Each structure stands twice: as structure tokens, then as C-alpha cells.
Amino acid sequence: MTSKILKHPPRPGTDEWRRTMSGSKIATILGLSRFQSPFSLWHEMAGNVEPEPFDEETGAWGHIAEHSLAEWWKHHNPGWQLNAGKPGETEITYTRDDLPFPNLATLDRRAMNRAFGVRDPRRFHIIECKTARDLADWGRPGEDNAVPADYYAQVLWGMGISGIHQASICVLGPFGAPEIHTVEWSQPVFEGMVDKAAEWMQTLENGEEPELSDSLRDYTVIRGLHPDIDTHESVDVDRDQAVAWLDAITTEAESKKQAQLAKTQLAKLMGNAKYATVNIPGRDKPVKLADRRAKQGGTPYVQFNKKANLADA
């Protein structure tokens, strides 16, 4: 493995940037991103559509928040100092020249502890900084799967590209002090990411777009790919497919009501319980279906575990 600091990383929006694999892109490729879909990313990387415009205000707030969150991590980790790639910068970008595709990982912050020698792998630590409107997708620090899957993938990618195998995510929710979550390194998971990234880059070469998803971004991309209206053209739709599509449109509101009813029914069943679990024959322990959480002493609410595997063992 050969990791090195990228002194002049490609600027967002450039052709080079589009074709370079990064932490946010790998999360999308794996189908984990809450912000983008594989279909929309593929067409952006292929140069068929423009990325969504960058929100300057959101970006500015993000950089300001990163500063305070990194200092919070440093406050809780005496002996460490925040260490950028060069003076005047905070983020640091790495790349690996032994992978079969262009790649990079931009770290929000890199911490350094001089108690460890120059060649000691413990010398550096990755700090990723996040803000969240709510922490419904987060567990408590130290719990299994406490970090949302897309952020986990992003940070693990950064660990694999940089060669720094110690990392934390510092997240600021809507109330109280930030939380610090440790991210454990996994070589097998990273190798799986590399394989998926290589396959993805090959689909770009072959012109093989991913399947459509229910992401709103996919609809936006399709609209962008077909900006014109031919008033003389019509397409034939299979009758069964037409029925399925029409049913989906007309039952959308009812589906939302059913989801709310499910939460209400489970909340009544749980009472004051913290967890709702399901016993699966052949499993060593019950599967967590949901838990009850409260924000800063507020009224508890039910959070379903959408990743619960309820299949037979």
C-alpha cells in the first residue's frame, strides 16, 4: 500500500473530480447515501448531467462547525494536536497510487500525537465532523452500529486511502454537547469497497448505467437528460405496468398513514420499554426491531431499525 498526501486535489465540479473515487461517492455506490443515488452519481461521473449546485452558506457553516467540533475532540483527547498538511489549511487529502482507478480521501482534520514515533501507526488520528438536524439515525457512542452507514463507509474509505487506521466522528445534534463516535478499522470491508469501486468504474467505461431507484434525485436526472418535449411523439405503456404505476401514485398517501400507524401501535406495545426485539429460530440472540429514544429529556419516540434482518437463520 502506498498512501500519499495529494498537494493539489482536483477542484469540485471539474472533469478530473467527477472521475475520481471519494468517500462520499463510495457510500453512494454501495447504496448507503441518504443524499444521492447510484443512478444520479453515475450520470454525474459520466458527464451527462451537472451536480446539484453547491450551497455556499451551508458550506461556510460546515467549515465553521468543523473547527469547533475538532477542538471539542482535542479537548477530550489531551496530548493530541490538530495537524494539517500545510500551514493555513485544515483539511488534508490523501490518495493511493496502487489502486486501479483515480481515488482520494479528504479528511476534515488529522490529529497527531508526538508521544508516538514518526513510524508508529498510532501517531495520526482521523477526525470527521458532522452536524445533524436530529440524531434519530445515530446510536449512542460505544453502541454497535451507532454511526449511520453512509458516514461509516465514508470514514472507512478515508482510513483505507490514508493508511491512518484510527478515526472518530464528532457529531453535533440539535441539542447539547457534541458526541464522539469511534470508527473501527476493517480491512475486509475496505477491500470490498475497492472491489465495488473498480466494478463501478468499469461500468462507466462500458456505458452501463445502474437501475433506477425511488430517489427524487433519479427523477431530477431523468428530467435533465430529456429537457425537450416532442409534441408529435407518444410511447406505448404495458397495461400491467400502467396499473402498477397508477396504484403507486394513488396509494402514496395511504402508505404514509400506514407507516405512522405502525409507529403508534409499536409505541403502545412497548410502553416504557427501551427495546422491541424479535426472536428468530436458530439465532443466538433476538433481533432489535426498534428502540425508544428521547432528545435532551423530551418525550420518547420510536425509532425502527430499518436494517433488521428478520429472515430465518
Residue whose C-alpha is closest to residue 205's, from 19, 51, 12, 11 = 19
Model confidence over 286-309: pLDDT tens digits?
999 999 988 877 888 999 998 888
Say how far apart CA 254 and CA 22 lie, in whole Å: 39
Model confidence over 247-269: pLDDT tens digits?
887 887 788 888 888 998 899 89
N residues, the chain? 313
User: Does residue 18 carry a pLDDT above 80?
Assistant: yes
Domains, the chain, with CATH or none: 3-206 (3.90.320.10), 239-304 (no CATH)
Sign of torsion over alpha carbons 243, 249, 254, 257 = positive
pLDDT of residue 245: 85
Model confidence over 35-54: pLDDT tens digits?
899 999 999 999 999 887 77
pLDDT of residue 1: 66
Q: What is the CA radius of gyration of the chain?
A: 22
Model confidence over 58-102: pLDDT tens digits?
778 888 899 999 999 999 999 999 987 667 678 999 999 999 999
Provide the percentage of residues in the chain whose pLDDT is more than 90: 60
For the entire predicted model, the pTM comes to 0.78
CB atoms within 10 A of CB 90: 15
User: Does residue 55 carry a pLDDT above 90?
Assistant: no
User: Does residue 125 carry a pLDDT above 80?
Assistant: yes
Model confidence over 150-193: pLDDT tens digits?
999 999 999 999 999 999 999 999 888 999 999 999 999 999 99
Say how far apart CA 77 and CA 62 lie, in whole Å: 22
Provide the percentage of residues in the chain whose pLDDT is more than 70: 99
